[in-house]
Chains A and B, each alone.
Chain A
Amino acid sequence: MHTMKLILLIEDNESDEVLTVRALEKAKVANEIQVVRDGEEALAYLFGTGVHASRDITQLPTVVLLDLNLPKIGGLDVLRRIRADERTRRLPVVVLTSSGEEKDIVQSYDLGANAYVRKPVDFNEFAQAAKTLGLFWLLVNEAPPKRDVL
């Protein structure tokens, strides 16, 4: 049973971070939103290394919101590493990005993204999208069964 509803937001743009967190909080769907600012930190958080070495990695987020254009390790590479690892390969990942380029959409799905959402410029639409996302992935969607992690 999942008692914690945690969203991992991987976002380097501070404004987007503030707006996304605000929209999610207004939708009142998550207990906690963890924000990481680049791909390297995202992987450290998920696999309990580096600055997140002391973290209990059996506590996986319910959903990961992943930006594509990230410093250090890019979003698509983060997704590839998540899918390649036994511990995270079923973790729901939603790509949340500025780009509507076909190339990005196709590559994201090919690498195993669960959804692709383009961030609208209009904040009303953005807030609506964030709310819908949160509701669906945290409340409607049935999460993959939790497994023992070494």
Chain B
Amino acid sequence: MFLLRRPDYWPASGWRDPLEELERMRRQMDLMSTAFFRAPSVESAAGVFPMMNASEDKDNYYVRAELPGMKAEELVISVTGNSVSISGERKLAAEDDKAQYHRREREAGTFNRIVSLPAQIEWEKVEARCADGVLTVTLPKAEAAKPKRIAVKLS
């Protein structure tokens, strides 16, 4: 007597329909190729508007958000410890009353978002800038959070 171990996807009752089998394989290939060759458009979305990107270099953290149509003075940015809070309201200008809308995809409303950064920030030197609808907040790292080179003494 044989004990035949078969993989889960093996059809229990033989190859029922070769075309169906081909279709199944094609679907699996599609899944694999999407998983391998296409990076997801959003990697770690918190699900809170606005979407944010954060990056760092030696001296600063940079937090960016896309806020089309907003000006820097309409935003409230505050820093506590190692977190930045950005809030505001996006208003869409009222248009002609007689205008007949064909599409309305742009959104208006309030938002409030807090992001935490891995290290302490020097809050006195935080700078925020809005250009072309992209907000960039530059947050200098606290002296204690910067990498230091430690000289190794020879004994």
| A and B associate | no
- Listed in ascending order, the chain A residues whose CB lies under 8 Å from chain B are none
- Listed in ascending order, the chain B residues whose CB lies under 8 Å from chain A are none
